[in-house]
Structures are given as C-alpha cells and as structure tokens.
C-alpha cells in the first residue's frame, strides 16, 4: 500500500507536465523562436509521460496483487466463520466468500485508482487559482456540481440496492431448492412451475437494479455534459482574459487541461457510486463474518479424553420461541458405554446430539467431556475425538475413500479401510464399481440410502473417536444391515468409545447399557433398558428384543428426572 500511494503521488505530479509544457511552449518558445528549447522541453515532457505510464502500470499491478493478498488473508477466516457459525448463514444469503471475491475485484478496479487520485484535486484547484482566480472559481463550481450529483447518485444506488437485496435473497433460496431437489421437481411435473416461480422472483430482484442503473447512467450523462460545458467556459474565460492582456495564451491551454484533469475523476466516481455502494455492503457482510474469528481466544489443548460424558441440567431454546426445545436434561456415562435415546418425534433427541457434538451451545447447563466443558475445548481438537452421524446423512463429494476420511490431511489408506471394516461396510464398498475410488456424486446422490448410511457410519468411526454420536443410524437399513450395525457399535465400544445413539427402532436397545427417554424436550427417565421400558408411556417393544443387563450401568450421574 505504501508503494501504491507513492506511485499515485508520482502519477499526479507528472500529470502537471503537460499544462506546464503548454505554458512554456506558447508563452516562451514561440516568442523566443528557440528550436533547441522546444526540443529540450518536448524530450523532457515525453520522458515524464513515459514514466507516468510506467507508474500507472506498476500501480495497477500492485493493486491487483494487493487484492489477491486481501482475498488470501480473509478467505480462510470467512470460511472458518461459515463452518463454525453456520446458523448465521441463512438460506438465500449470498455466501460471505462471494463477497470477499467481490471486494477483491473492486480493489483491483479503476474505481480504486480514481479514489487514490481524488485527494490531489485540491492541489490542482490551487494551481488554477495561481494561474488566475477565474480558473479556480470555474473548477470549484464544477467540483461542487459534480459532488452534488455524486451524492444523489450514491443515494439512488444505495436505496435501490437495499430494495433488491431482500428479493435477491428469496430468489437465491428458491433457486437452491429447485437445483437441490431437481429430481423431485421433474418427477412431480413441476418443471414449468418452478421456472415460472424463479423468473417471477428474479424479475422482482432485477427491477430495482435496472432502475438504479438507468438513473445512475442519466446522472453520469449529465455529469459529462456539465464537465464539457465547464471546459468550454474555461476556454471562453481564458480567451477573454488573453484579449484583456491579463494572462498569456499558454495559461489558457494549461487551465483547460487542468480543469479536465480535475473534473474527470469526479465524473468517473459518479458512475462508480453503484460499485462503491455494493462494495460497502460487501465489506460490512465480510466484516461481520470475520470479526468474531479475529477476536476469538486461543484454547489450551487438553489431553486426549477417555470418553466420559456428563450432561448437567442442559436447556436449549431458540430465539422467539417460548417453549424450550430441551429443558433440564441430566445424565452421565463412563467410557465404553452405549446410551440409546428414545422418544416420540419432536422430543428434542436430534437437538441433544447436536449440543453434544458442539454444533450448538446450550442456553443453560453444561455438557462436559472428561470434566471439561465442551466450549473449553479447542473446536478442531474436539472434532478429532467426536464422531457424528446426523439423521440426514451428509457426505462430501468425491470418492468413497475421500468421503470417509473427509479433510483429514494425515489420513492413511489403512485407516480408511479400518474404519470401513469397523462399520461393517468394507464388503459393501468393494462391491461398488470402483471400490474405494467410486465417485459418490454430490452429497452421495449416486448411492442408495443404505449405502450412504454405512459410509457415514464408517466416517463417524474414522480416527481415534472417543465419543460417537449416531442419529437414526438404522433408518435406511434392512434387518441384515441392522445386525451389521449392532456388531459395528459393539466393536467401537470394545475399542473404548462411548456411543450415544438416537433411534425409533427397537433393535439397538438389545445392545444398550442405558436408555434415555425424552418427551416434549423433557427427560422422562434415564437408566437401564429394563428400568426405562417398564415405565408408563414408554414406546411398546417386544420383551425378547431387550437385553436385560445383570448389573446396572455405571453412570456419572443419572436417575429419573421425574
């Protein structure tokens, strides 16, 4: 940036060469008739203009490199913000990284160069006053008029862009839904309706932008007319002053050049107000995303956990919702235990798993892993010990092996295969067209529901996971698949992992050490399967599918909540 400013100063100083060259030629060379002086002045002016062009080229390259460094610095911070705080990145909102790219494009544009040249305009006006006060007055009047027009242009651009923003969000959300569920749209015969809905919303988003562009272009055209009229006025005033013998001919030419140089950047900025307003809105969004990451304190790395989990009086509520989703949940579990969470739909089971995975923070109470609250763990370190399989299995695109390993840069082939074997998915993966190198498509759309479930389970087991959270892992499995799932869970338990599993099906209760029963966000009971299933209101299950433990589960906390 220091070099950019230095080159800007040099460029604007060298721009004074042409008006002063005119003064010297018309006022001195012509009157003296000295060819040598004319040649010398011409060579000096040519060299100065060459340097000016070189400095402009260098400034442009530096601005481009500065813009790239700006993106390289901010992009990881903004992406981290998106990953850590996904709740604040709603559907339809233009992604923060897109705004970073928009700012990068803006920083390398001619608009920034015009902004860098703007501070030198007062110096040019002072020189015009030095040549003659009338020249300075004409330049001041032109600057005032163009500045007023620029403010009007900015106001129009901001008002229209703000109006279009909400419509653009809704349009983007609709488009994302149509693209993501294109197969459903096609199967249900909604193609034309979806196109019509998108086009209607798109028209609503584009109309304010078109209106703003038209009005800004009108103001820009008027600004060009004003600048031309002022240049004509300056020439006329100069000619009159020459006739009155108050100035020489050279000052007439110099003043015309300087007035054009003074007013041209102002005219350019009027047309650029829309880009400025858009860049300002982009900067506010990027700033909002990056600021929390920049002030976040570094967490001390803790020892590897054993898997002991404690949930103490946990409450979770969403904004503008009176009834909490979870209220006063309390239970605990020693390492190498299996807890099965049951309850009707809407009981808060999936929310509890999201809280235990550290994806949400409880509104009240604490969740501890090996006596340390989850928010005291470094997020990346915690993620190395927590395996999470959401209800809607989300697989990253790429190959099967990449879907299991994720973005673990230290992943080894043997670790991927070991996780697949632990999840009883190895044989199924080998049966795919290219085995572990099979492309799974976007979100795993080339796989069946059961295959996605098994690969998602292998991902949850991948690495040294001490706490494994599974949300409806048997939802898409047949009885044979469920048996393989139970074997995989028991093997993970034998390896030292603590497992918390949400299910609506009875098969997993046969391997449970403890059962947590939720209803309407409230803990009804927590204890051994035999104790919980005897309580009134518990989902009816066949007695022979439940393995009654001969000894009660060893729990850090527990008991019946009510």
| DSSP per residue, 228-259 | HHHHHHHHHHHHHHHHTTSS-HHHHHHHHHHH
484 pLDDT exceeds 70? yes
Query: 């600004």: which residue's tokens?
Result: 223
On the question of pLDDT at 134 being above 70, the answer is yes
* Each residue's pLDDT tens digit, 202-211: 887 777 777 7
What's residue 542's pLDDT?
Answer: 39
What digits encode the pLDDT tens for the residues 399-435?
Answer: 999 989 988 878 889 999 999 998 888 999 999 999 9
Q: Does 309-545 carry CATH code 3.40.50.150? A: no
Class of domain 2-295: mainly alpha
Give the dihedral sign, CA 118/123/125/127: negative
Residue 347 has pLDDT above 50, yes or no: yes
Instruction: Note the pLDDT of residue 10.
Output: 92
> What is the rounded distance in angstroms from the CA atom of residue 233 to the CA atom of residue 196?
54
Confidence of residue 549 (pLDDT cuts 50, 70, 90): very low
What whole-number distance in Å separates Cα of residue 515 and Cα of residue 548? Answer: 12
Number of other residues whose CB lies within 10 A of the CB of residue 122: 12
Query: For 74-78, 361-365, 392-396, 451-455, which range has the lowest pLDDT when averaged over its residues?
Result: 392-396
pLDDT given for residue 148 in this prediction: 82
Q: Which residues contact 284 (CB under 8 A, 6 or more apart)?
A: none
Q: Is the pTM of this model over 0.85?
A: no
pLDDT at 86: 60
For 282, counting Cβ atoms within 10 Å of its Cβ (0-12 exposed, 13-18 middle, 19+ buried), the class is buried
Which of the four pLDDT bands, split at 50, 70 and 90, describes residue 448? Answer: confident
pLDDT at 559: 38
Task: Name every residue whose Cβ is closer than 8 Å to that of residue 194 and which is 6 or more positions away in sequence.
Answer: 178, 185
pLDDT of residue 158: 66
pLDDT of 375 above 90: no
- The per-residue pLDDT for 177 is 79
- Region 271-283: mean pLDDT is 78
- Scan for tokens 């106001």, then name that residue: 155
**Residue 18 and residue 250 in contact, taking contact as beta carbons nearer than 8 Å:** no
**pLDDT for 156:** 67
Backbone torsion region of residue 469, taken as left when φ is above 0, otherwise alpha when ψ lies between -120 and 50, otherwise beta: beta
The CA distance from 353 to 358, in Å, is 9
| DSSP helix/strand/coil, 501 | strand
Across residues 148-159, what is the average pLDDT?
71
pLDDT of 470 > 90? The answer is: yes
CB of 332 within 8 A of CB of 309? yes
Quickly list DSSP for 332-369. EE-SS-EEEEE-STTSSHHHHHHHHTTSS--SEEEEEE
pLDDT at 541 over 80: no
Question: Domain-by-domain residue ranges, the chain?
Answer: 2-295, 309-545
Question: 124-133: b or e for each residue (b if 16 or more CB lie within 10 Å)?
Answer: bbebbeebbe
Q: What is the pLDDT of residue 162?
A: 64
Q: Is the pLDDT of residue 36 over 70?
A: yes
Residues 526, 309 contacting (CB under 8 angstroms): no
Check residue 437 and give its pLDDT: 92
Residue 551 has pLDDT above 60, yes or no: no
Average pLDDT estimate for 152-166: 67
Q: Distance between CA atoms of 143 and 3, rounded to whole angstroms?
A: 28
Residue carrying structure tokens 């009338």: 134
């Amino acid at each position: 940036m220091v070099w950019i400013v230095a080159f800007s100063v040099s460029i604007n100083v060298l721009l004074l060469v042409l008006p002063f060259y005119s003064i010297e030629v018309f006022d001195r060379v012509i009157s003296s008739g000295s060819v040598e002086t004319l040649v010398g002045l011409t060579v000096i002016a040519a060299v100065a203009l060459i340097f000016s062009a070189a400095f402009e080229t260098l400034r442009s390259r530096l601005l481009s490199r500065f813009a790239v460094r700006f993106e390289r610095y901010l992009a990881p911070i903004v992406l981290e913000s998106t990953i850590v705080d996904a709740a604040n990145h709603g559907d339809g909102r233009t992604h923060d990284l897109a705004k970073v790219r928009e700012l990068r494009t803006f920083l390398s544009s001619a608009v920034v160069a015009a902004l860098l040249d703007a501070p030198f305009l007062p110096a040019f006006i002072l020189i015009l006053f030095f040549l003659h006060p009338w020249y300075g007055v004409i330049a001041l009047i032109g600057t005032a008029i163009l500045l007023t027009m620029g403010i009007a242009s900015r106001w129009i651009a901001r008002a229209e862009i703000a109006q279009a923003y909400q419509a653009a969000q809704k349009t983007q959300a609709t488009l994302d839904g149509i693209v993501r569920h294109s197969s459903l749209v096609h199967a249900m015969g909604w193609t034309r309706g979806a196109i019509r809905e998108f086009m209607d919303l798109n028209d609503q988003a584009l109309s304010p932008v078109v209106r703003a562009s038209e009005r800004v272009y009108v103001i820009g055209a008027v600004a060009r007319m004003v600048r031309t009229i002022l240049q004509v006025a300056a020439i006329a005033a100069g000619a009159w002053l020459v006739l009155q013998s108050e100035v020489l001919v050279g000052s007439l030419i110099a003043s015309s050049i300087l007035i054009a140089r003074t007013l041209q950047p102002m005219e350019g900025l009027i047309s650029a107000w829309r880009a400025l307003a858009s860049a300002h809105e982009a900067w506010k969004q990027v700033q909002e995303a990056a600021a929390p990451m920049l002030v976040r304190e570094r967490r001390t790395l803790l020892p590897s956990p054993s898997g002991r989990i404690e949930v103490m009086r946990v409450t979770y509520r969403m904004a503008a919702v009176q009834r909490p989703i979870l209220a006063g949940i309390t239970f605990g579990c020693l390492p190498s235990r299996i807890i099965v969470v049951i309850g009707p739909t809407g009981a808060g089971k999936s929310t509890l798993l999201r809280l235990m995975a550290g994806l949400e923070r409880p509104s009240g109470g604490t969740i501890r892993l090996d006596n340390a609250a989850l928010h005291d763990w470094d997020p990346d370190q915690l993620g190395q010990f927590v395996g999470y399989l959401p209800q809607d299995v989300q697989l990253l695109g790429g190959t099967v092996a990449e879907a299991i390993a994720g973005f673990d840069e230290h992943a080894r082939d043997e670790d991927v295969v070991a996780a697949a074997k632990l999840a009883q998915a190895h044989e199924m993966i080998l049966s795919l067209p290219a085995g572990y190198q099979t492309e799974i498509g976007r979100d795993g759309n080339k796989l069946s529901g059961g295959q996605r479930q098994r690969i998602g389970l292998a991902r949850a087991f991948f690495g040294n996971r001490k706490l494994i959270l599974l949300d409806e892992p048997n939802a898409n499995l047949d009885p044979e698949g469920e048996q393989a799932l139970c074997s995989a869970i028991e093997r993970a338990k034998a390896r030292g992992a603590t497992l918390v599993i949400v299910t609506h099906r009875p098969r997993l209760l046969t391997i449970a050490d403890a059962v947590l029963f939720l209803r309407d966000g409230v803990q009804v009971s927590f204890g051994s399967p035999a104790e919980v299933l005897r309580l009134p209101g518990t989902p009816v299950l066949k007695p022979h599918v439940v393995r009654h433990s001969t000894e009660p589960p060893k729990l850090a906390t527990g008991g019946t909540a009510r």
